[in-house]
Structures are given as C-alpha cells and as structure tokens.
Amino acid sequence: MRKFDRVLLTAWMLNVYDAGITVYATQVLRAEELNPLMRFFLDSNPVVFVVFKLMMMTLVCSILRRRFELYAKKTWTTLTVITCLLGALAIYNSMVLAALV
C-alpha cells in the first residue's frame, strides 16, 4: 500500500470515528448537530446519516486518488489539509464527549 493510500485510509477512518461519536452524542447524550444538512439526515434516521457521511467521504477519497496521478503535489496538500482538519475535529469531538459524560 502506497503512503498516499494509507493517508487516504486514515482520513476515511477519522470520518468513521466522527460519525460514530456524532451518533452517540446526539442519540444517547442528546447533543445537537450544528451542521444543518447533517442534522437533517441525523433527524431522519441515524443510519441514513452514517451512510450519507461515509458515501461523501468515499467520493472525496476517490476523487483525490484519481487526481493524484495528474496533480501529485496539489493533491497531497489537499489531502494533508483534510486529514489534519478531520484529526482536529476528532480531538474536539472527543473532548466534548468527555465533558458531556
């Protein structure tokens, strides 16, 4: 597995983690989703929320993977920013979850 693919997988797994924490916090701890689009899916059904969130991240990852062949440096920069933001979001959500529990 190439380094690029490992970083893509890391970003995807951080997204899975974020989805899990969001569902737990909103369903069990009665927290509120601030993103209006994701709140719509979460209010309709948590499974729909998770499927939509994972489908969107899968789409982003596949676009980045295809772009990598043509624009390696720009794609690396984009992937690095996405992964760092998802990592920061995971840390933030974990801290909020710890405060709610």
Rg (CA), the chain: 15
Predicted pLDDT at 70: 83
Contact 33, 39 (CB under 8 A): yes
55 falls in which pLDDT band (50, 70, 90)? very high
- Rounded Cα–Cα distance for residues 67 and 40 (Å): 31
Q: What's the length of the chain?
A: 101
The model's pTM: 0.86
State the helix-helix crossing angle for 3-27 and 72-100, rounded to 10 degrees.
30
pLDDT reading at 20 higher than 90: yes
**Residues 67, 70, 74, 75: what is their CA dihedral angle, to the nearest 10 degrees?**
30
| Domain boundaries of the chain, sorted by first residue | 3-100
Percent of the chain with pLDDT over 90: 70
